[in-house]
Amino acid sequence: MDLIKLLQKLKAIKADPDYARMSRDQLLGLSNERTGLFRATWQFILHSLQFGSALALATILIMLIVGGFAAWKSVSHVKLGSLNLSSLQVEAEAIDVQIQLTNIVYNQPEGLETTQQTAITPKILKAKEQTKSMSLKPVSSSSAPTITIDEALDRLSE
C-alpha cells in the first residue's frame, strides 16, 4: 500500500466526545482571567479524581454490606481456612511470578544484541522455579537456541 495512504489512516484518530465536551465547557465557562482559568484547569483534573474516589467508597460500602448479608446466611461455613498462610503464600507467589514475567517483557534491556538474551530469559524463569520450589516445567539453558531466528536471518542476508 502507498505510504501516504498509510499515513492518512491516522486522520481517523478522534478524541473521546465526552472529554471534548468537558474540556470545551471548562474553557468557555470562564472569563479570560488568568486565575479563573488556572482554577478551571485544576477543577478539570480534580473532577476526574473525585469521580474515581467516590466510586471507590461506594464499592467498599457495597462490598461490606453484601459481605455482611452473606455472612448471616452462611455463618456455619466460615472457617479459619480463609487465613491459611500456606495457601495465601501460594497465591502471593503466583502473583510474584507474573510480575517477574511482566517485568521481563516490559524491561527489554537496551544494547543487548546477541543470543545471550534469549538464553537468559529461560534461566530467570528456571531460577524462580528453584527458589520458590514450584513445579514449572524446566527449560534447560542447553536447549535454548544460541543463535536466534532473527540473528540467523541477519547473518544470512550479509
Partner 1 sequence: MRHIIIKTGLIFGLVAVCFFPIRIMAGSINSPQAAEASCNFEGQFKELASTQESNNFDYLASLMAELRIRKNLLRGVLDCSIAEAESLRASLAALKPNAPDMEFLRNRFYERIGETKDYYQVQQSRINDLGIQGTKDVAKNIKEWRLNQYASLVDGSTQLIIWTKNQELFQAAQKRFHDIEQTVRFFNLVDNTEMKELLTKAAESLYKAQSANEAAKEALKRFDASENSLGLIKDSLEALSETYQIFFDLSKAINPHP
Partner 2 sequence: MLDGENKLIEMAIRGEASAFGSLYDYYQPKIYRFVFVKVSRREEAEDLTHQVFVNAWLNIKNYREMGFPLGSWLYQIARNQVIDYYRTRKKESSLEEMDSEYFAVRNDSEYAFDADLEMARVKGAVQKLKPEQQDIIILRFVEDLSPKEIAEVIGKSEGAVKLIQHRALNQLRKLLLK
Q: Does 51 bind partner 2 (CB under 8 A)?
A: yes
Read off the C-alpha cell for 44: 478539570
Read off the C-alpha cell for 24: 470545551
- What is residue 76's DSSP assignment? G
Position among 21, 25, 45, 154 found at the interface with partner 1 (CB under 8 A): 154
Per-residue string for binding with partner 2, 29-48, x by CB under 8 A? xxxx-x--x--xx--xx-xx
Q: What is the DSSP string of 69-121?
A: HHHHHTGGG--GGGG-HHHHHHHHHHHHHHHHHHHHHHTPPTT--STHHHHHH
The CA distance from 22 to 52, in Å, is: 16
The CA distance from 133 to 127, in Å, is: 10
Q: Does 146 bind partner 2 (CB under 8 A)?
A: no
Which residues sit at the interface with partner 1, rule CB under 8 A? 52, 56, 59-60, 63-64, 67-68, 70-71, 74-75, 78-83, 85, 88, 90-92, 94-99, 101-106, 108, 110, 112-113, 117-122, 125, 134-140, 143-158
* Interface residue list for partner 2 (CB under 8 A): 1, 3-4, 6-16, 18-20, 23-24, 26-32, 34, 37, 40-41, 44-45, 47-49, 51-52, 55
